Structure 1
């Protein structure tokens, strides 16, 4: 299945499920569609408390998206040290950070013009 045949809202829902499955924290969706010259439509940002949890979040997202939508990321980078892993699903890019790295780069502020949605987690 090609990327343009998967509705973006389904992709986002499955990505969020993958993050929540392994208790990823502080999930935020940045809607970039109204901003000119962006590389994608959405960023999904979350954090894990360790290298192990960051890797687990990425693995969980890949598993759920693959199983449910038969899709896989076009590109993944950052798995070597697992402080900031980027998963590129073309129109949705997922950023999985360790807390201190997320605070340092603060990409939510860099994209301050984006419409930001915070996902409340129940754990």
Structure 2
């Protein structure tokens, strides 16, 4: 495993842990590295049960990444309606949906040629 893979794994593990802290549901990681012109190396997709929980998940992911990975730039979008909040760290994009919006956009199907890893709900 290369040094870059170790960094990717630690970064992704922190994101997953940050989502699980706030009880995000149905977490899926999609590895897009083998797809030409993919918008990121990884997508992490999860859902919350309310706009408050969705915002809390996004805030926790952003806060923990900024505190534990010095120099990482990122941005967040969708906080106002909180049906789909996106936290973009360039190589890793976190999508936090409400259940209906996740079903409607169905990113898992759209990126079905990626490599999937699912996480159990805590």
Q: TM-score, normalization: structure 1?
A: 0.89
Superposed displacement of residue 103, structure 1: 0.5
> 1:111 is matched with which residue?
111
Helix, strand or coil at the partner of 2:76: strand
Aligned length: 118
Instruction: Give the whole-Å Cα distance in 2 for the aligned partners of 1:115 and 1:10.
Output: 18
Superposed displacement of residue 74, structure 1: 2.2
Superposed displacement of residue 33, structure 1: 0.7
Q: Does 1:53 align with 2:53?
A: yes
Q: TM-score, normalization: structure 2?
A: 0.90
> 1:43 is matched with which residue?
43
Moved over 6 A (4+): none
Helix, strand or coil at the partner of 1:65: helix
> 1:100 is matched with which residue?
100
CA RMSD of aligned residues (A): 1.6
> 2:13 is matched with which residue?
13
Alignment gaps of 5+ in structure 2: none
- CA distances 1:61-120 after superposition (whole Å, capped 9, x unpaired): 112212222355522111111000111101000000001100111000000100111011
Distance of aligned partners of 1:97 and 1:108 in 2 relative to their CA distance in 1, 3 Å threshold: same
Instruction: Give the whole-Å Cα distance in 2 for the aligned partners of 1:60 and 1:75.
Output: 13
- CA distances 1:28-76 after superposition (whole Å, capped 9, x unpaired): 0000011111111000000000100000101111122122223555221
Alignment gaps of 5+ in structure 1: none
